[in-house]
Amino acid sequence: MKKIKINGKEYFVEKETTVYEFLKNIGIYVPTLCYHPYLRPVGSCRICIIKDRGRYKNSCATLIEDGMDIETHTPDLIEARRWILQFLFGERNHYCMYCAVTNDCEFQNLGYYVGLDHFHFPTFKNIFELDNSHEFILFDNNRCVLCSRCIRVCSEVGGHFVLSEINKGISSLIVADGGIPLGKSSCVSCGLCVQVCPTGTFIDKYSMYLGRSWETEKINSFCFSCPVACGIEIRVRNGNIVKVLSNWESFTKGLICYKGRYLSVIKHRNVLQNRKHFRNVNIIQDSYLIESIRTKSSVALIDGTLFNEEIQKITEIFGTENTYCLYKINPKINNNKITFDELDKYDAYIIYGWNLDKDYGTIGSVIKRNYRLKNKKMFRIEEVKDFIKNSIFIYPACFEYINNKRFWEDEIVLPTNTNDIGVLKYIGNKYLDEELVKEFDKIFIFTRNSDVLPLYEKDCYLFTYTDRQIEGFKEVFLLPSEYEIDGTFYNVFNQLISVKSITKEGVL
């Protein structure tokens, strides 16, 4: 039990906590800039300055000690905060008026908070090159205040270790891979740096000028791009998806990859623009349309890009016996029992046939950061001759259990498509081989993947989600995107995830 005084009032603190977090809990606002609730505090900006027994300290990185006498808003502290902010606004280009994030910027809000009405120190002392090489991110060191949030999130949370700081003093700058353009670096485009940046240094090219965060509606959902199903926070303005952020309070704790943050939204926008070229079909509502085309000898091929409700409807229309899997699915995925939180606790990971950055990026992040920061072991075996191509295994292993032969017991088999587990649950593991296909006249293919070739020389109908023309099919129908309908699906950890529709169908 520690006894401390805050602005003359006595408090008793039991837990070990920083001064800033305690002040926040009891409702005293102290401005912060480099502090982020989900990152390790470094205390680099000093804006959260407080006075403890007459000495100035930064509250975000100071632990509470017994006998502290803290003052938070004395006139000299208010003056000190104004000068600290003047120092931060100097030297570089912190002109709010021609910045993309103006009016939606933590740094600018701090300026309003302390009442900064002019720059005391000259600007444009050191001019850095604008880095426009990245596909999704605009990177401008001239707007940087060196709070190092991006470096911390890139290493501690993402496990990518791309960003770092070089040089000293006025010429300090954030660089990717020691000084090469961001677009050519090993950046995996997860966009975490954009999300935590308090200034306009990192800017999303695909969401800039579409809506400030206070103009948008915040909707918590889950990503449908891969079977991990990370928690995401979708920002919607007038029915348009402005951007996708990761959700720090979800089970993935703020992790996200480029598929969830950028690719799905960009594809959604492209499809919306090309909608009028297709007949739009919602499997659940427009089932009569499928019924009208279907004959008695029809077969449906489905894959894991469909929601459970859609799969159920298809099996109702065609009968479970006439519904087959489009791709081969590894039946082992049904046995996945490890949860995302447990994945963090293993001592070693054995990975078969998987590039950690490309797919399932957030599982890769967990493994990479444990390997680099917590000195855990990682074994990667890239070429694997398995009976099913493209299947990926992770064997998280506990060293403690080696003697008890538990080493190989836990395994995660990563499904190829998002809802492969749902497909297995509804129709089982069965494929249409060339012998069988002769019995059917019409083939209906349901998949949100657009790179499908017409199968066999039959009447093929494709129900897909695409922004381009596909040839070879009798007719191509357009399914709604994952943002447009309600649905449930099973993620890689065998959890049933349900998502709500974000936008109305066909709203641009």
Partner 1 sequence: MNSKRVATIWCEGCSGCHMSFLDMDERLVDLIKKGMELSASPLTDLKVPPFETDIGIIEGSVATDTQEEEVKIMRERCKIIIAIGDCAVFGGIPTMRNKFKLQELYNRVYNEAETNQNKEIPNEEISKLLEKVKPVNEVIDVDYYIPGCPPTPDAIYEVLSKLLEGKEPELKGKLLSYE
Instruction: Count interface residues toward partner 1 (CB under 8 A).
Output: 19
User: Alpha carbon 267 to chain centroid distance?
Assistant: 16
Token pair listed for 21 = 């977090």
Nearer to partner 1, 29 or 431 (CB): 29
Nearer to partner 1, 73 or 120 (CB): 120
- Helices vs strands, H then E, count in the chain: 13, 25
The total number of residues written for the chain in this structure: 508
Tell the smallest beta-carbon distance from residue 131 to partner 1 (Å). Answer: 14
Tell the smallest beta-carbon distance from residue 103 to partner 1 (Å). Answer: 4
Neighbouring C-beta atoms of residue 156, cutoff 10 Å: 16
Tell the smallest beta-carbon distance from residue 171 to partner 1 (Å). Answer: 16
Tell the smallest beta-carbon distance from residue 145 to partner 1 (Å). Answer: 16
Neighbouring C-beta atoms of residue 48, cutoff 10 Å: 26
Nearer to partner 1, 29 or 399 (CB): 29
Helices (H), 283-441: 287-293, 308-318, 340-343, 361-373, 420-427, 434-437
- Regarding 227 and contact with partner 1 (CB under 8 A), the answer is no
395: which strand partners? 350
Of 310, 312, 352, give the one whose Cα is nearest residue 463.
Answer: 310
User: Alpha carbon 462 to chain centroid distance?
Assistant: 30
Of 48-56, 98-106, 177-185, 474-482, the window that binds partner 1 (rule: CB under 8 A) is 98-106
Nearer to partner 1, 103 or 167 (CB): 103
Nearer to partner 1, 124 or 456 (CB): 124
170: left (phi over 0), alpha (psi -120 to 50) or beta: alpha
Tell the smallest beta-carbon distance from residue 130 to partner 1 (Å). Answer: 9
- Regarding 93 and contact with partner 1 (CB under 8 A), the answer is yes
* 424 Cβ contact list (under 8 Å, min separation 6): 329, 331, 333, 334
Sheet architecture: strand order including 392-397: 377-381, 348-352, 392-397, 412-414
Binding residue for partner 1 (CB under 8 A) from 11, 95, 206, 401? Answer: 95
SS3 at position 55 = strand
- Regarding 141 and contact with partner 1 (CB under 8 A), the answer is no
Of 33-41, 94-102, 317-325, 483-491, the window that binds partner 1 (rule: CB under 8 A) is 94-102
Q: What mask, x for binding partner 1 by CB under 8 A, covers residues 101 to 130?
A: -xx----x--xx--x-xxxx-xxx--x---
Tell the smallest beta-carbon distance from residue 89 to partner 1 (Å). Answer: 9
Tell the smallest beta-carbon distance from residue 118 to partner 1 (Å). Answer: 4
By CB under 8 A, name the binding residues for partner 1: 93, 95-98, 102-103, 108, 111-112, 115, 117-120, 122-124, 127
